Amino acid sequence: MIKTVTSPAFIIDINRCLSNINFMRKKALKKGLFLRPHFKTHQSVCIGNFFRKYGINAITVSSVSMAEYFKRKGWDDITIAFPVNVRETDKINLLSKNSEINLLIENLEAVRHLKKKLKNKVGIFIKIDTGYHRTGVNYGNIELIKKIIKEIKNSNLYFKGFLTHSGHTYYAKSKKEIININDDTNRKLNLLKKLFFKDYPNIILSTGDTPSCATAENFEGIDEIRPGNFVFYDVKMLSLGICKEKNIAVCLACPVAAKHKSRNEIIIYGGSIHLSKDYITNSSGTNSYGLIVKLYNKGWSKSYRNCFVKSLSQEHGILKVSKKLFNELNIGDLIGILPVHSCLTANAMKGYYTFEGSFIDHM
Amino acid sequence: MIKTVTSPAFIIDINRCLSNINFMRKKALKKGLFLRPHFKTHQSVCIGNFFRKYGINAITVSSVSMAEYFKRKGWDDITIAFPVNVRETDKINLLSKNSEINLLIENLEAVRHLKKKLKNKVGIFIKIDTGYHRTGVNYGNIELIKKIIKEIKNSNLYFKGFLTHSGHTYYAKSKKEIININDDTNRKLNLLKKLFFKDYPNIILSTGDTPSCATAENFEGIDEIRPGNFVFYDVKMLSLGICKEKNIAVCLACPVAAKHKSRNEIIIYGGSIHLSKDYITNSSGTNSYGLIVKLYNKGWSKSYRNCFVKSLSQEHGILKVSKKLFNELNIGDLIGILPVHSCLTANAMKGYYTFEGSFIDHM
């Protein structure tokens, strides 16, 4: 298939993807965790079906429109992991007809709005802030949590549990720090479980970030995990030590457009509208927007050492390369880029190609 | 129309957009420059027609697929302003049937490839690097320029002139620096014109960046300009002093999802998949991913002082706001974000809404 690529194409290694799914499924089984994978990374019905074959029937999404997309494809147990957008209540009413829909709540205003407008039963998770400080009720704000639970009563909303996303693991400096964050998150959620268990014995604790789910061993008291990124992993996860390079399941194939020997730079057709602008900072302090690999008919090489994507503009990518790679590459060749953030690259590319040339859907 | 918005929606102020187009058209007329606007910013047939009404019939695009899109809509004089991607020669052959297509060349390998494969006449601009160091032949590398021109002879390629993109104006610290870069660019291109004018009396010098085109007065010797961003402008251009805030013609309408009083932060439904991850650095050293405005039925307010988009994840935006704005906003309200980089936001949103509720296409 590679030979037929003429413009940036997003390639998926199905075997790696399946192996990533299987790893997380086994880990969840072993730890007694309910796996409700986040589908915002792949946004694909076909990749969703890989999960289904492993018996996974409940999913997480990040928007109402993503829930609509997957509901149309037969998924009927969906958590929309975003503080509920009350402007979409009509759509939520359509979604929750004959489907199990869970919403995230972190304030009384949204509960009051939903109580008035929702026509069908929906599950409610209270979003808890355990340290990321993006969204959620602070885990120590028991007063607000109690008020929300009280406000939920006698309505179409039913309280299911506490949900958090410890996104601060993405900024961790070591595996140990990730494990510490995970332990801290679990401890904080378990405090809440203890407090509300008597009245709500079926209370669910749900955590989510791929770094913790992939690395940690302690999930005491946790009932559900919602990782997403692990399905592909990426250079960011690699830099955190969360995955090996051989686990990265997606790669952007890009044509070589120009070469600049004086700077050891290669210009590819492949820019921020393909890869997104997320970057990692190398140990030398320079930013990297991706790693560089050689493409084969059925796979790709290890990444070239001391070579990386130095910058991106709308359609251009600038590769900083070794002299050896510079000499190897010719105008019109294809080169592969491992993305820094696979979720955003997938979202930009809107579809995947397999090595056999099949096209895999993206929302 | 604003009242009906339920999820992030990209709003265009048509009057501002028309006024921006008119400004650049008048400036080009006054300076005797041929205006070949870059359509990669809006990527819209409808907005393209605004240009057509002003008598503009020749355009610039950044990819072969963009050229195909606009050719299908009746545009037949197109410069593809990207070092030619030789893997797309078949597509270029289809494009150049009955159309004036100009390609960018910066090395002999691509010329040799094109000579063998191109079936129709195409114009060739030699891409010149006048200081941005992204792509192009160094302006002083007369030897390579001569070789390329010689190689072009007796083929379907015909040499039209020298083209540059002084993208380093985007990193300028002041208007004066932009003007200096523009003067420097013009001087370097004019050296080349002088050198090749005898053999090629119709030689064209083409420059492109919006900062220079919007600000500079000296275009001596320059024949053509290709600005794109000016059609909308954005917070980046505002920060460079290239436009006034009242010239920014696009705005992302976003629902308010959560409020965090302890941090004076508002969480909106609107993230990096909508706005892109481009940012500017405030005078205080913090990054800003957009400015915040109040939305009206037929427009938006000036941006709130000391308020900005602090960070973006896939679907979330975090607004750092004043106490006043914090208290004004309620869960479920809409708020407007002026994008840092309008080209990337337009590319992500894939369409525009007018205040009257009409939808405007995007490729």
Q: What percent of chain B has pLDDT over 70?
A: 100
ipTM given for this complex: 0.95
Residues A293 and A350 in one domain: yes
How many Cβ atoms sit within 10 Å of the Cβ of residue A304? 18
CA-nearest residue to B91 within chain A is A6
pLDDT value, residue A122: 98
Q: How far apart are CA B46 and CA B26, in angstroms?
A: 21
Please say which residue of B232, B260, B286 terminates a domain. Answer: B232
Q: What is the pLDDT of residues B90-140, one digit of tens each?
A: 999 999 999 999 999 999 999 999 999 999 999 999 999 999 998 999 999
Is pLDDT of B252 > 90?
yes
Asked if the Cβ–Cβ distance from B267 to A134 is below 8 Å, we say: yes
Q: How far apart are CA B209 and CA B228, in angstroms?
A: 8
Is pLDDT of A63 > 90?
yes
Query: Which of A4, A84, A87, A330 to mutate: most B Cβ within 10 Å?
Result: A87
One-letter amino acid of A71 = K
B204 lies in a domain?
yes
pLDDT value, residue A301: 98
Is pLDDT of A1 > 90?
no
pLDDT value, residue B117: 96
Query: Taking residues B132-149, what's their average pLDDT?
Result: 95
Asked if the Cβ–Cβ distance from B334 to A87 is below 8 Å, we say: yes
Residues A27 and A154 in one domain: yes
pLDDT value, residue B26: 97
> A218 CB near a chain B CB, below 8 Å?
no
A237 lies in a domain?
no
Is pLDDT of A2 > 90?
no
pLDDT value, residue A283: 82
Residues whose CB falls within 8 Å of the CB of residue B98, separated by 6 or more in sequence, listed in order:
B76
What is the CATH number for A323? 2.40.37.20
Is pLDDT of A106 > 90?
yes
Q: Return the beta strands (E) in A294-355 as ranges.
A: 295-296, 299-300, 308-312, 316-320, 334-339, 352-353
Residues A99 and A195 in one domain: yes
Is pLDDT of B35 > 90?
yes
By Cβ distance, the residue of A84, A113, A344 closest to B272 is A344
Task: Find, among A207, A323, A188, A343, the residue nearest to A264 by Cα.
Answer: A323
Q: How confident is the model at residue A205 (pLDDT cuts 50, 70, 90)?
A: very high
Query: Taking residues A290-302, what's their average pLDDT?
Result: 97
A109 lies in a domain?
yes
Q: How confident is the model at residue B355 (pLDDT cuts 50, 70, 90)?
A: very high
Q: Quote the number of domains for chain B.
A: 2
Q: How confident is the model at residue B43 (pLDDT cuts 50, 70, 90)?
A: very high
Strand A157-163 to strand A122-129: parallel, antiparallel, or no bridges (unpaired)? parallel
Residues B344 and B290 in one domain: yes
Residues B269 and B283 in one domain: yes
Please say which residue of B205, B232, B259 terminates a domain. Answer: B232
Q: What percent of chain B has pLDDT over 90?
A: 96
Residue ranges making up the domain that contains A306? 2-10+243-360
Residues whose CB falls within 8 Å of the CB of residue B50, separated by 6 or more in sequence, listed in order:
B17, B18, B21
pLDDT value, residue A258: 97
For residues A225 and A36, the answer to whether their CB atoms sit within 8 Å is yes
Q: How far apart are CA B329 and CA B313, in angstroms?
A: 21
| Tokens coding A50 | 């890989």
Q: What percent of chain A has pLDDT over 70?
A: 100
Q: What is the pLDDT of residues A161-183, one digit of tens each?
A: 999 999 999 999 999 999 999 99
Taking the CA of residue B340 as centre, how many other CA atoms within 13 Å lie in the half-sphere pointing to its CB? Answer: 22
What is the CATH number for A75? 3.20.20.10
Q: Quote the minimal CA–CA distance from B84 to chain A in Å.
A: 7
Is pLDDT of A56 > 90?
yes
| Tokens coding A295 | 């493409």
**Chain A residues with CB-CB distance to B259 below 8 A:** 107
Asked if the Cβ–Cβ distance from B83 to A257 is below 8 Å, we say: yes
One-letter amino acid of A241 = G
For residues A53 and A34, the answer to whether their CB atoms sit within 8 Å is no
B79 lies in a domain?
yes
A166 lies in a domain?
yes
| Tokens coding B226 | 């290709």
Please say which residue of B232, B257, B280 terminates a domain. Answer: B232
A139 lies in a domain?
yes
A224 lies in a domain?
yes
Residues B321 and B220 in one domain: no
Residues B227 and B119 in one domain: yes
Q: Tell me how far the alpha carbon of residue A185 is from its chain's centroid.
A: 19
> B276 CB near a chain A CB, below 8 Å?
yes
Asked if the Cβ–Cβ distance from A63 to B315 is below 8 Å, we say: yes
